[in-house]
Amino acid sequence: MKRFRSWMILAVLILAGAAWWEFARRPVTAAEPVASVLVNTIKLTPGSLPATVTAYGSVTAGPGAETTMAMQASGVVSDIAVSVGQQVTAGQVLASVAADAQSVADVRKAQDALAAAKAARAHVAALLAGHLATNADLAAADQAVGDADGALAALQAMGAGKARSIVAPFAGIVSAVLVAPGTVQPGGTALLRLIETGRLVVVAGVPPAQAGGIAPGEAAKLTLLNEGTQVDGKVVRMAAMPDPQSGLEDVTVAPPGALPLGEPVEAVITTGGTDGYVVPRDAVQNDAQGDYVFQVDAQNIAHRVGVHVLGNTGARTVLAPGGLNAAMPLVTTGAYQLDDGVAVRMNGAAN
């Protein structure tokens, strides 16, 4: 029995030795490399972005932009040559007016009165030559001639007693037609209203909390939302109080030229600048804890840093300096793949 146990111990020792020998013969393999993420980085550099306020509104008539076109003398409205919303040029015919019986009679009466005044003046002059009238009588006759001539000239200047055309005094848009063709209208009747295109403005609503930072003279970028085109403008007026219906304060922006009346517009108004670290907008991530970025330390380890976004302009963001380390590169492309403490490989040097 003892001999059997000895043989068992010997067998175990032999197997253990063989196993050790096999393990010792095998080459030692290197440890598996730690996985890393390829990213692009930039150096943090102080900078500034323009501070802006975005408002929405439309193109409308500015103060004094609308003019009422009226008949100076009575007549028959023979034709209205335009319609509401039509754009017209300076000098274009808007309406045609024919003479009515009353205006013809008024002109004839004024002509007769002038002829009578001239005849009376000639008679007084003849009497004066015979010493049968005085210089005062002649002066009164001259005054009567002047009055009669002035009355006739006024009627003729208004177009009384003859056909005439009502023309646009400036380039504009017809905002209202107030009479119908074929009707007889007295002098002073409003025929239509015309908005001068050169006086169109953009009126947009701004929340009161943002309105305080806007002042006349500040630049605005106007985007015509139907057309997609952009033009530059300038703030010319701020409302003194919010609109009772919208609760917004109206800001009036003057465009550089004529815009389509009623066109919806986005106005981005520059109210100053915001200082901080300017970075690509895509570098900033967001979750339930707020906005954050990743910075890389000397061992190429990414660290999550909470940030405060001060403003955005296009593809750029300005960050408050607090919490950021200017000596550590900031991750731009690839930031969305990272977690705090992940190893990274930087695609070239930080710039």
CATH number at residue 181: 2.40.50.100
Residues 211 and 124 in one domain: no
Question: Model pTM greater than 0.75?
Answer: no
Domain that holds residue 151: 66-196
Q: Is residue 14 part of a domain?
A: no
Q: Are 321 and 287 in contact (CB under 8 A)?
A: no
Phi-psi region of 137 (alpha: psi -120 to 50; beta: other; left: phi over 0): alpha
We report the CATH number of the domain holding residue 204 as 2.40.30.170
CA 183 to chain centroid, in Å, comes to 43
Q: Read off the pLDDT of residues 177-217 as tens digits, 9 standing for 90 and up.
A: 999 998 999 988 999 999 998 889 999 999 998 888 899 99
Q: Are 202 and 267 in contact (CB under 8 A)?
A: yes
Residues 179 and 261 in one domain: no
Last residue of a domain, one of 273, 303, 333: 273
pLDDT number for residue 28: 46
Q: Is residue 7 part of a domain?
A: no
What proportion of the chain, given as a percentage, has pLDDT over 70? 89
Residues 145 and 254 in one domain: no
Q: Is residue 283 part of a domain?
A: yes
Q: Read off the pLDDT of residues 215-273 as tens digits, 9 standing for 90 and up.
A: 999 999 999 999 889 999 999 999 989 989 989 999 999 998 888 888 999 999 988 88
Tell me how many domains the chain contains.
Answer: 3
Q: Is residue 18 part of a domain?
A: no
Q: What is the dihedral of CA 163, 66, 179, 101, to 10 degrees?
A: -30
Q: Is residue 33 part of a domain?
A: no
Last residue of a domain, one of 179, 196, 213: 196
Q: Read off the pLDDT of residues 100-122 as tens digits, 9 standing for 90 and up.
A: 778 877 878 888 888 988 988 88
Residues 140 and 119 in one domain: yes
Cα 211 from Cα 250, distance rounded (Å): 9
Going by the DSSP 8-state scheme, the letter that residue 301 receives in this structure is: B
Q: What separation in angstroms does the CA of 55 have from each of 206, 244, 301?
A: 6, 17, 43
Q: Are 345 and 302 in contact (CB under 8 A)?
A: no
pLDDT number for residue 16: 55
Residues 201 and 136 in one domain: no
Average pLDDT over residues 309-316: 86
Higher pLDDT, 104 or 329: 329
Residues 177 and 256 in one domain: no
Q: Are 307 and 292 in contact (CB under 8 A)?
A: yes
Q: Read off the pLDDT of residues 116-175 as tens digits, 9 standing for 90 and up.
A: 889 888 888 888 888 888 888 889 988 988 998 888 788 777 777 788 899 999 999 999
Residue type, 276: G
Q: Are 248 and 206 in contact (CB under 8 A)?
A: yes
Residue type, 324: L
Residues 177 and 203 in one domain: no
Cα 319 from Cα 280, distance rounded (Å): 10
